[in-house]
A and B are shown apart, each in its own frame.
Chain A
Amino acid sequence: MAKDGAGAGGAPRTSLLYDPAFRSIAFQIVLLVAVVFVGWYLFHNTTQNLASRNIASGFGFLGQPAGFDIIQALVPYGQSATYGEAFLVALLNTMLISAIGIVLATIIGFVVGIARLSNNWIVSRLATVYVETLRNIPLLLQIFFWYFAVLRTLPGPKQSLSPFEGVYLNQRGLYMPVPLTEPGFWTIPVALLLGIAGAVGVSIWARRRLMATGKPFHSFWVGLALIVGLPVLAALATGVPFTFELPQIKGFNFQGGLVLIPEFMAVLFALSLYTASFIAEVVRSGVMAVSKGQSEAAHALGLRQGLTLRLVVIPQALRVMIPPMTSQYLNLLKNSSLGAAVGYPELVAVVAGTVLNQTGQAIEVIALTMAVYLTFSLIISLFMNWYNARKALVER
């Protein structure tokens, strides 16, 4: 009960309206009712309008045949494919370009960010020019630049550039040989997995030994030998159980082999180079946030420049870098939707474009598309938060 009643015995109780506890609960309830009502109203209004205009609703369309083709499909997408399968293909295409884009942007961003801090005048100026140019040009323009500028300079299929036998570059894409598996092929991926496990094991052992005895062990080269060597041994032991299918020119175009379409390459270049310019700045600010005394102390201990950077500066800089890095990754994922402009078959192009247009069910299709981006963004955020928590300074 409210405190007011606790005064001199029998004092008049104040009105319920002035009771702070009651008021706060009442406001919560009013707000909740209002929110539910607005939600219900929007839903009701939408369904009523859809019905009055005879627009189909629901997600039943996902099971119906799509009847259009998609230029790049990571899973089989055949003649009788459904809208649901088209959705899956588009989803995988978005994931593919975002995943590769994030890795590339991180690598380029790190290199450029560190280069900007270099004592070498030319290197640091070049990095500055890179950052200031790329981050100040709209991404859509960069995508168009890569698409049309590169398309126009490459030769047609009959005059393909061929740096190696079996690799062809022309306006229709980059064609590469693809391995065709034969019986016994399974040993190679298994050997690769064993190699990776072995490399991880060696590096853990080397670290323990370093901590215990102070003797360094170059686990990197041993690990590399394991990862590369084991699959090679497996291949040799089983008599090389694969052949390469070479792209062949047939009619107008190359057939067979693996092809990277120009749409994919244009969007990938633009996305990674653009995001890398922001990541470079994140890296630079992270490194500069580490006090100069840290590197001076490291130099005083006799560590060379590279080792100082790797062992002292970067681990501390990471703590500053991770949160802004997360938003760059999220931006890259969402920016991949610009691929629709040059016909890269990602989610917005296929689902919010073709599927929406063929079915006419804008609300369901857009809701589905938004749900996908939201889910992906939240997953990336969760992962980066976990990574951040691991790297954060633990105060003792």
Chain B
Amino acid sequence: MNKLSQFTIGALLALGTVTAAQAGTLDDVKKKGFVQCGVSAGLAGFSAPDDKGNYSGIDVDVCKAVAAAVFGDATKVKFTPLTAKERFTALQSGEVDLLSRNTTWTLNRDTAQGLSFAGVTYYDGQGFMVRKSLGVKSAKELDGASVCTETGTTTELNLSDYFKSNGLKYTVVALGSNSEAVAAYDSGRCDAYTTDASGLYATRIALAKPDDHMVLPEIISKEPLGPVVRQGDSQWFSVVKWSLFALVAAEEYGVTAANVDEQKASSANPEVKRLLGAEGEFGTPMGLPNDWAYKIVKQIGNYGEMFDRNVGAGSPLKIDRGINARWNKGGLQSAPPFR
């Protein structure tokens, strides 16, 4: 055999060794030392970079919580900004370990697309924004309107369903990214702009004259938004799912970033002790240190603090807790028992 064919066979063997099954995301993450997290490129309150390029928002905090659980350090995250149509391919192909990008949990995505939704960060619903000068008070008056939206989202499908079921006509202008959809709406291409209600509020305050625009009262869909991982890796799935639950449970038991040390040392509540790792061995089966949830709450706070800071009363968006309140306050956020 000559050198060329030796080289060919060598290359084939090399390719062969790379084939190893791609299951242990947690091990991979620990090995490289950070969580690669897919986020939105710019949606105030959910994920938006500041002037120094640091991302913040509720979706970003979920990424940070996972990093805190794995490494005990919420800063060990790298962010990949993704458009709606890039996001699933980026996750499927392993470009990101975790997708936390205001993504709606649907049956098809959860089963046929190789994705697993690890929970719900924010319960949302789709709405419309219009110019006040249009004189429209309800989405039902939008017959014949042209509507701008971002392509590759559930929004496009809900829009079609809503207008058809109400017997209304419309034209859709589906643009490649959210910023282009907003620019097209703002320049007058469309009568209405549609996305999730939280996104509408975030978009409205970013427009040149927010007071010229209004959000219509109708919410036309359920949009449970949450973090997504690849299917078939139950360990990593559990890590992400329970990181989210830890945030919710901490709020329920009154554990905050400020009092977490005190609670860990002296709480009489056995559930709090188990949550914060003062009692039992609940981190080990997931491959995490025992104080994983303590690290999350210490660095991120609980779900309520995270909500207030990013989208709630403590933020420019001032969104009401509404259905995102915890279960014993009339909302939907709840965590299974920590035992």
Assess whether A152 is interfacial by the CB under 8 Å rule.
yes
Assess whether B174 is interfacial by the CB under 8 Å rule.
yes
Known A-B contacts A343-B180, A362-B92; the reply to A56 vs B113 at CB < 8 A is yes
Known A-B contacts A71-B174, A171-B188; the reply to A52 vs B161 at CB < 8 A is no
Binds B, one of A103-111, A248-256, A326-334: A248-256
Assess whether A238 is interfacial by the CB under 8 Å rule.
no
- Least distance between A277 CB and chain B CB atoms (Å): 25
- Whether A253 lies near B22 (C-beta < 8 A) is no
- Whether A71 lies near B12 (C-beta < 8 A) is no
How far, in whole Å, are A253 and B169 apart by their CA atoms in the complex? 11
Interface readout for A32-48 with B: 1 if CB under 8 Å, 0 if not?
00100110010001000
Known A-B contacts A353-B85, A353-B152; the reply to A156 vs B188 at CB < 8 A is yes
Interface residues of B in 1-56 (CB under 8 A from A): 4-5, 8, 12, 15-16, 19, 21-23
Assess whether A310 is interfacial by the CB under 8 Å rule.
no
How far, in whole Å, are A191 and B119 apart by their CA atoms in the complex? 67
Interface readout for B100-144 with A: 1 if CB under 8 Å, 0 if not?
000000001101111100000000000000000010000000111
Assess whether B151 is interfacial by the CB under 8 Å rule.
yes
- Chain B residues closer than 8 Å to A356, beta-carbon distance: 85, 89, 152
- Chain B residues closer than 8 Å to A68, beta-carbon distance: 156-157, 160, 172, 174
- Whether A151 lies near B171 (C-beta < 8 A) is no
Interface of B is mostly: mixed
- Whether B187 lies near A358 (C-beta < 8 A) is no
Pick the residue among A30, A156, A252 that contacts B5 (CB under 8 A): A30
Assess whether B164 is interfacial by the CB under 8 Å rule.
yes
Closest chain B residue to A357 by CB distance?
B152
- Whether A152 lies near B187 (C-beta < 8 A) is yes
- Whether B144 lies near A360 (C-beta < 8 A) is no
How far, in whole Å, are A69 and B162 apart by their CA atoms in the complex? 12
- Chain A residues closer than 8 Å to B172, beta-carbon distance: 68-71
- Least distance between A311 CB and chain B CB atoms (Å): 49
Question: Looking at chain A, what size class is its interface with the partner chain?
Answer: 35 or more
Closest chain A residue to B181 by CB distance?
A343
Pick the residue among A54, A343, A362 that contacts B89 (CB under 8 A): A362
Question: Looking at chain B, what size class is its interface with the partner chain?
Answer: 35 or more
- Whether B160 lies near A69 (C-beta < 8 A) is yes
- Whether A71 lies near B85 (C-beta < 8 A) is no
Assess whether A370 is interfacial by the CB under 8 Å rule.
no
Assess whether B191 is interfacial by the CB under 8 Å rule.
yes
Known A-B contacts A45-B19, A53-B230, A349-B151; the reply to A67 vs B160 at CB < 8 A is yes
Assess whether B215 is interfacial by the CB under 8 Å rule.
no
- Chain A residues closer than 8 Å to B184, beta-carbon distance: 147, 151, 342-343
- Chain A residues closer than 8 Å to B171, beta-carbon distance: 69, 71, 253
- Whether B189 lies near A151 (C-beta < 8 A) is yes
- Least distance between A98 CB and chain B CB atoms (Å): 19
Interface readout for A343-378 with B: 1 if CB under 8 Å, 0 if not?
101000100011011111010000000000000000
Assess whether B235 is interfacial by the CB under 8 Å rule.
no
Assess whether B88 is interfacial by the CB under 8 Å rule.
yes
How far, in whole Å, are A228 and B93 apart by their CA atoms in the complex? 58
Assess whether B183 is interfacial by the CB under 8 Å rule.
yes
Assess whether A55 is interfacial by the CB under 8 Å rule.
yes
- Chain A residues closer than 8 Å to B323, beta-carbon distance: none
- Least distance between A34 CB and chain B CB atoms (Å): 5
- Whether B183 lies near A148 (C-beta < 8 A) is yes
- Whether B232 lies near A67 (C-beta < 8 A) is no
Question: Which residues of A line the B interface, CB within 8 A?
Answer: 27, 30, 34, 37-38, 41, 45, 49-50, 52-56, 67-71, 79, 147-148, 151-152, 154, 156, 171-172, 250-253, 255, 262-263, 340-343, 345, 349, 353-354, 356-360, 362
Identify the 3 closest CB pairs spanning chains A and B, nearest first. Answer: A360-B113, A357-B152, A55-B114
Question: Which residues of B line the A interface, CB within 8 A?
Answer: 4-5, 8, 12, 15-16, 19, 21-23, 84-85, 88-89, 92-93, 108-109, 111-115, 134, 142-146, 151-153, 156-157, 159-161, 164, 169-176, 180, 183-184, 187-189, 191, 230-232
